[in-house]
Chain A
């Protein structure tokens, strides 16, 4: 907040950011994360300089060892002499808005290495496993000329779809034997996963999980890129070099293009608008709404038709 709010993001500021000045980067992130007064200027200033970073999203159920895998992947990138930005998203409490940001602590191995910059974000009630401003935070890291920006989601059920909006390469991580989780995530996941990883591959059931995933992939044919199913043991680093190779391969295959920014913004707007609509319908307090709900309860009206009607009521109530 401090310097970023005061400092107009001029060319000197930009040079500082691009040369890797860490405090400048930290404060710019604070500004865009919180949409402070200076945020707009920063976003305009960096806009022409985006597109350097390869953005890699890691998602998957809790307990799959995402943070440890991200840390091992970062170490691998550093071996390859690439600079890295990490955005780790932790959930905010829906009751109080507070959050414990603990994920980054599994990445202690990179302390003292200026080539790694880790930032935690609280999801702040935003559904979808990221925070509302995560995409902008990634942009700032991109503008700061980080070669790779790794985004780790909270691991909520719907995170994969949103990661798809902002990451070039989507890595879906699961642990052996999380059969139910695989069932639960498979719906949306196979369309978006570019690389599937079975982490904790030293555990029993790893083979079976790999087989299951491959089987499920076989059912959904995709054009061009065929998502590989990899095995890693993040704690020892085993398989992480192959993971890094495959992520590279994917970037090459896809030409390194992120989803178009306009499309991305449109999707984000849709998400925010949907939340607002939901809240308003829930709070809608008029006899017509009550009547509509009672009709549904009686079975006189189907849910689909009733939902359309609810939207109409909402529009009317606005008048």
Chain B
């Protein structure tokens, strides 16, 4: 079925921060060229940690292992820090939720953008600035020349996120990892930034791994979706499939929680998921969702089967 390997192929990723607690328990993700793969879940489910683990940006002391982790067919699990640095910011780039904390407040937009190219491509500063101006224009910033000379605090939230995106594109990456890129923005600006990401993807053939808690964002931009819960991917499918026929009780619960404008019946309670996410310590077996699940049965405490409908819709549950 696949002639060319997926751009990013992660199998059985595990991350632990302390000897007793495993934050990521066997996550598998594939991101195809030119597509958007969304990882969705609530805080603490491990979606950001998974992204950081792929980029090799975990905090010191964190332990990472995987069946395999490949970028464009090449193993990236056992790269040295130097080899990783070459890859990061060049062929794979990352943007974060809060652009104010990821931009350096002491440098102008132009100098921090140019630095990316100066370091990776060994070009002169002026060449870096030219490329920066070109990309600022591409992400829809008017008067890029003026913006290059400004400091991050002089920009609005939406502009800062555009600068972050432009900066990530400096070396023409093949993969962009975006961790909650629109969460800190107003809805009106969110729509603009997502349109920008989609347009850039179509123009540059960019693969995007987008991490979000917002099912609205997922529905509108994703080709593939992975739903994470308590350190595992509990369901993955194409976006159309997932929203049309969610299979895992957690995915269904999550969808019921979101008030959808136009279908709201006031006075009726929203769907909600009772309880909270459990702490998964070592020796935990069975389904991590069973304490909150309306369909839990004794078998859920023993193990969970991975189900696959053969057409790419997989979920982790006893129920079909």
A, B from the same assembly: no
Q: Which A residues have a C-beta under 8 Å from some C-beta of B?
A: none
